[in-house]
Amino acid sequence: MVELFAPDLNTLSLDASSGIWIRHLNLDIDHRKQWPDELLVLLKKFPRDSWKNQTASLSQFWLDKHNDFRHQSRQLIGFTQNYREEKIQGQELVKRLGRSLQRFLSHLNGHHSIEDDHYFPRFRAADKRLAPGFDVLEDDHYLLHEGMDEIAEKFNAMAGSIRSSKKESVHKRAADAYMTSADLFFKRMLQHLADEEDLIIPLMLEQGQ
């Protein structure tokens, strides 16, 4: 069995002032539908349907990286869907998730660290009108990393239940707990990817990146 290790949250911090801003505009990840107009100034200039023709090297790299996360997410979601449809049992679910989930969590953790430490400060300085949006994205990262911690914990509990019991009912309870956490996590993460692109890709294109 593969045991997963949750990402280190010690490098993440929640800015209280941005939290007030988020609550005021209802921009937490579970409630926002889109960015407010004041954060869409560049997206209106560079709408999504124009990206394919205008995307430069860095912005294309960013989109490719996000699409890779989407691909991995669909694969992981597909494993749990097969279990829900009783196409596979708990032991097979753990086997299929295994290293794929560990690799996904590790890559996402590294991607977020680079964004928080390197790119977001640059982007804030490049266009201060968008700075509150990067505060929101950083707060998303904090919440997502809590979710990464939780699904790693639930996966390990599921794997442990299979090691310790042969009863499928025991496996199902552990699998249900994992899937509940995973469903919420992937919903949030996919929302975050789209919102981040709407803020960052137009800014990159504005700068010829």
Domain ranges of the chain: 37-206
At 55, is the pLDDT very low, low, confident or very high (cuts 50, 70, 90)? low
pLDDT tens, position by position, 74-86: 999 999 999 999 9
The answer on pLDDT for 21 being more than 70 is no
Q: Mean pLDDT score of the chain, rounded to an integer?
A: 86
- The CATH number of the structural domain formed by 37-206 is 1.20.120
Mean pLDDT value of segment 137-148: 94
pLDDT tens, position by position, 88-122: 988 889 999 998 999 999 999 999 999 999 999 99
23: tokens are: 């609550």
89 Rama sector, left if φ>0, alpha if ψ -120 to 50, beta otherwise: beta
pTM: 0.85
